[in-house]
């Protein structure tokens, strides 16, 4: 009998806030099948818990999320994975409880979709973001559903086409995150926001979020399948597979 794989996503509840912690340092919290499955389950658990008023998604280390698991993508393709990440974004957007993200350090590619899907996103000022897909012959397809809804169009063009690193401070100016604060104030800032959210009445939180996110839900429902198909096609292309294989070789 083989042992079950170690848990990659942890869950705890205190003072009306469910905290979900990504803890897969071996691949920098990449969106592997296991991590996405566990994250999905914990979000649903928080949604069903009558004692939870708000949900915080964070990471155990400085890297919040490095995006798609390229090792899995090169061996298994992205047909199922792309649709699962569309579903993950939709779950965050439609959850009855407000979702907050906190990132101290790096967020890359698909991980930015989680930040964009959240209702409130707080970043350290010197944290780094990058939509790196363009460098690998890919496109920010599935996460464009949420990222391009949040970011102003000029910033979306600059970051999506350039693929370069930008800071938490710039992410706030672009509309991607709610606010950026000095790293030593990040925990206190997020704790204060979550404490405030936890004072909301369940019906008030649920209905307010539904109104706020109506246009975004419609966008996901109209474009989700097309973006998932586009992503899977690009991941399977010779150009992208060659680029991803080279990238993974450089990392070793």
User: Does the annotation count 170 as an active-site position?
Assistant: no
Q: Which of the residues 133, 207, 226, 239 is marked catalytic? A: 133
CA distance 134 to 41: 31
Q: What is the DSSP string of 51-95?
A: T--EEEEEESSS--B--B-HHHHHHH-SHHHHHHHHHHHHHHHH-
Residue 110 has, within 13 A of its CA and on its CB side, a CA count of 28
CA–centroid distance for 147 within its chain: 10
Q: Which helix (H) or strand (E) holds 151?
A: none
Nearest to 32 by CA among 70, 3, 89, 5: 70
Give the separation between CA 120 and CA 163, rounded to whole angstroms.
Answer: 24
Which residues participate in catalysis according to the annotation? 133
């Amino acid at each position: 009998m083989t042992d079950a794989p170690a848990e990659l996503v942890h869950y705890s509840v205190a003072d009306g806030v469910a905290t979900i912690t990504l803890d897969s340092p071996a691949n920098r919290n990449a969106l592997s099948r296991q991590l996405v499955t566990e994250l999905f389950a914990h979000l649903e658990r928080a949604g069903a818990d009558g004692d939870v008023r708000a949900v915080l998604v964070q990471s155990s280390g400085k890297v919040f999320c490095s995006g798609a698991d390229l090792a899995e993508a090169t061996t298994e393709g992205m047909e199922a994975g792309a649709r699962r990440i569309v579903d993950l974004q939709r779950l965050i957007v439609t959850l009855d409880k407000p979702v907050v993200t906190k990132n101290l350090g790096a967020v890359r590619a698909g991980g930015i979709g989680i930040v964009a899907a959240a209702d409130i996103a707080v970043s350290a000022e010197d944290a780094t973001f990058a939509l790196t897909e363009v460098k690998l012959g890919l496109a920010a397809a599935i996460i464009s559903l949420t990222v391009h809804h949040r970011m102003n169009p000029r910033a979306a063009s600059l970051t999506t086409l350039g693929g370069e690193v930008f800071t938490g401070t710039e992410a706030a100016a672009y509309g991607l995150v709610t606010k950026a604060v000095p790293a030593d104030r990040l925990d206190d800032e997020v704790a204060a926001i979550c404490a405030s959210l936890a004072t909301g009445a369940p019906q008030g939180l649920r209905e307010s979020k539904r109104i706020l996110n109506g246009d975004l839900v419609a966008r996901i429902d109209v474009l989700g399948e097309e973006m998932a198909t586009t992503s899977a096609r690009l991941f399977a292309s010779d150009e992208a597979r060659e680029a991803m294989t080279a990238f993974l070789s450089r990392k070793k």
